[in-house]
Every structure is written in structure tokens, then in C-alpha cells.
């Protein structure tokens, strides 16, 4: 992900703090995490010093440059529901799944092809079921 040039995670109900490892994204030109539930201090360094406050708008618990809200040392910056401990297996699995789809083009295509096929199968099931019901009701209402 270090070579990523654009990252738009706006309006995704993301919460907690941004991982400090994101500062390794040295090619990032476009970054938007607006309208989430992020908290804590905004990352500093590298490309993150170039993004304006529009990238972070709608996250009232964020503080630090480029926002006007200053982080204070006695203020609790984190969300109390956020788990800062490493090793959360569910979170790692989630990140591993989406990260692999993000990084591996053939897996991403296969996954979305699978979802498309499931959508098509569901549509056919509904259409066939509706047609059967329609025929059943037409036969029941036919004059004898």
C-alpha cells in the first residue's frame, strides 16, 4: 500500500484513530476520511502535511493540524470503545480480507464477479418464483 496514490474512505462510519503506519504512504496525493467517527490526533509527516482540513471534516473528535482544534495533553483523544491492543483477530481478518482485495487485482475481480453472479442467481430465483405464482393465480381464477 506504500505506492497508493489516492485513498477515499469518506462516509464509511470509520472510528478510532488512524494507524501511524499510514505515514508510510509516500505517494499519496488524494486523501479523504471526511464524515466518519475518527478520533485522536491527525497524522503528521510525509504526505499528511499536505492535506487540508476538507480531508478530515465531519470527524468532531479529531484534532491537530490542519484543523483548528488543538490537541491538549489532558484531553482524552481516543474513543473509549476503541481497542488499542494489537492482536484483535477479528480486526486483523477484516483488514486482511479487504487488504488482499485492494492489493490483488485478480482476487478483486474474482470476488466482485462472484458477487455479481450471486446477484444474478438471486434475481432469477425471484423472477421464476414470481412467474410461478402468477401462473398459479391465473389458473385458480380461470372460469370453469
Range of the domain at 58: 1-84
Distance CA 36, CA 5 (A): 21
Q: Provide Rg for the chain, Cα atoms.
A: 24
- One domain for residues 29 and 78: yes
75 exposure class (CB count in 10 Å sphere: 0-12, 13-18, 19+): exposed
- Please report the pLDDT score of residue 132 as a whole number: 95
Number of structural domains (the chain) is 2
- One domain for residues 11 and 74: yes
pTM for the predicted model, two decimal places: 0.53
Residue owning grid cell 474474482: 110
- Please report the pLDDT score of residue 102 as a whole number: 80
Indicate the residue among 56, 84, 112 that finishes a domain.
84
The per-residue pLDDT for range 30-80, each reduced to its tens digit, is 999 999 999 989 999 888 889 999 999 999 999 999 998 888 765 445 555
- One domain for residues 69 and 102: no
- Please report the pLDDT score of residue 3 as a whole number: 80
- One domain for residues 41 and 74: yes
Amino acid at each position: 500500500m506504500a505506492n497508493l496514490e489516492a485513498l477515499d474512505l469518506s462516509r464509511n462510519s470509520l472510528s478510532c484513530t488512524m494507524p501511524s503506519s499510514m505515514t508510510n504512504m509516500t505517494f499519496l496525493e488524494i486523501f479523504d476520511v471526511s464524515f466518519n467517527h475518527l478520533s485522536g490526533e491527525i497524522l503528521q509527516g510525509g504526505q499528511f502535511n499536505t492535506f487540508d482540513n476538507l480531508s478530515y471534516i465531519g470527524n468532531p473528535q479529531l484534532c491537530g493540524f490542519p484543523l483548528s482544534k488543538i490537541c491538549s495533553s489532558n484531553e482524552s483523544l481516543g474513543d473509549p470503545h476503541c481497542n488499542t491492543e494489537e492482536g484483535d483477530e477479528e480486526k486483523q481478518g477484516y483488514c486482511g480480507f479487504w487488504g488482499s482485495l485492494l492489493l490483488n487485482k485478480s482476487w478483486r475481480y474474482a470476488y466482485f464477479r462472484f458477487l455479481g453472479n450471486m446477484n444474478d442467481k438471486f434475481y432469477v430465483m425471484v423472477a421464476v418464483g414470481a412467474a410461478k405464482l402468477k401462473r398459479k393465480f391465473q389458473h385458480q381464477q380461470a372460469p370453469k
